[in-house]
């Protein structure tokens, strides 16, 4: 079984920088890649800020923070990842973009390197089929925010070998996280359950059954959820929510997964949630205000 020590992460956004953060804190050497140096530097700055908050909350020590930051280095080109033991793709949830990345990346990697995707919904088997190593390819789906969330979904494609899967389980264990095994069906386990609930909450708003505040308070106080479904949708990103619902709708051909038209409208408006300062809530002031 391959020993994973050096990790490449493609995508320095919310999920990618979180994966790099968690890996570095667990002692792995990490190279962080994105399309531009500015995007990589923004990801590194986010990691630095998030680790500083962990120090202030006494979750890690200042020495831990400094050591972890030294383990993360920028990778301005994909060729910089050529010596990695494991490369995790964490680009936008768009299959064509992911396929393009894998086609460019595979010729650069060592034959024994493991390739993984952090996709939250797309078929692992289908993505693996366009690589040169489907037997060394799998899904390693982290939850957001990565440094805090304990669960990782491991998803093997039809060609994933046992050795690859076992190495991934050891890797997740070294991160101090819990792996759950999901079959390669649209959206796997967590999002197969979570996103239809969020979509139904948007339908409830769309049909005028309740306001944004009423819906979120109902689920927080009535179902003991730590965060309301519309607030959670803003946190995830409404574009990501829509992408996952579309994968479910296309992949399972069941009308119960049809994305709510109101969700589509918000995405078309560019109101994607926290990352754009507006979604089901407006975050531009001191406190979030419902937008409907």
Q: Among all residues, which ones are annotated catalytic? A: 120, 141, 153, 191
* Strands 289-290, 281-282: pairing kind: antiparallel
SS (H, E, C) 70-110: HHEEEECCHHHHCCCCEEEECCCCCHHHHHHHHHHHHHHCC
Residues ≥6 apart with Cβ < 8 Å to 237: 14, 272, 273, 274, 275
SS (H, E, C) 253-276: CCHHHCCCHHHHHHHHHCCCEHHH
> Counting Cβ atoms within 10 Å, is residue 38 exposed (0-12), middle (13-18) or buried (19+)?
exposed
In whole angstroms, what is the distance from residue 265 CA to residue 271 CA?
9
DSSP string for 185-250: STTTTHHHHHHHHHHHHHHHHHTTSS-HHHHHHHHHHHS--SS-HHHHHHHH-HHHHHHHHHHHHH
Length of the chain: 292
- What does each C-alpha distance from 100 to 106, 159, 160 come to in angstroms? 10, 20, 20
* Strands 151-156, 137-142: pairing kind: antiparallel
In whole angstroms, what is the distance from residue 20 CA to residue 29 CA?
9
Per the CB < 8 A criterion, the answer to whether 116 and 137 are in contact is yes
In whole angstroms, what is the distance from residue 233 CA to residue 193 CA?
14
């Amino acid at each position: 079984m391959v020993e994973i020590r050096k990790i490449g992460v493609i995508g320095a956004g919310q999920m990618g920088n979180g994966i790099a953060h968690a890996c570095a804190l667990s002692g792995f050497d990490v190279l962080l890649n994105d399309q531009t140096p500015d995007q990589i530097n923004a990801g590194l700055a986010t990691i630095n800020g998030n680790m500083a908050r962990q120090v202030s909350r006494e979750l890690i020590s200042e020495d831990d923070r400094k050591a972890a930051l030294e383990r993360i280095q920028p990778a301005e080109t994909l060729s910089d990842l050529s010596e990695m033991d494991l490369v995790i793709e964490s680009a936008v949830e768009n299959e064509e973009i992911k396929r393009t990345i894998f086609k460019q990346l595979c010729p650069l990697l060592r034959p024994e390197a493991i390739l993984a995707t952090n996709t939250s919904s797309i078929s692992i088997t289908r993505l693996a089929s366009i690589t040169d190593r489907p037997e060394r390819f799998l899904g390693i789906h982290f939850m957001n925010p990565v440094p805090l969330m304990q669960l990782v979904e491991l998803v093997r494609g039809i060609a994933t070998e046992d050795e690859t899967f076992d190495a991934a389980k050891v890797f997740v264990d070294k991160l101090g996280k819990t792996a759950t095994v999901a079959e390669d069906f649209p959206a796997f386990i967590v999002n197969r359950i979570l996103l239809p609930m969020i979509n139904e909450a948007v339908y409830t708003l769309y049909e005028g059954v309740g306001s944004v505040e009423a819906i979120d308070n109902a689920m927080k106080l009535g179902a003991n959820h730590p965060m309301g479904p519309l607030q959670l949708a803003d946190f995830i990103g409404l574009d990501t929510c829509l992408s996952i619902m579309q994968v479910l709708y296309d992949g399972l051909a069941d009308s119960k997964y049809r994305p709510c038209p109101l969700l589509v409208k918000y995405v078309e408006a560019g109101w994607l949630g926290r990352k754009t300062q507006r979604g089901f809530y407006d975050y531009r002031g001191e406190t979030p205000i419902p937008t409907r």
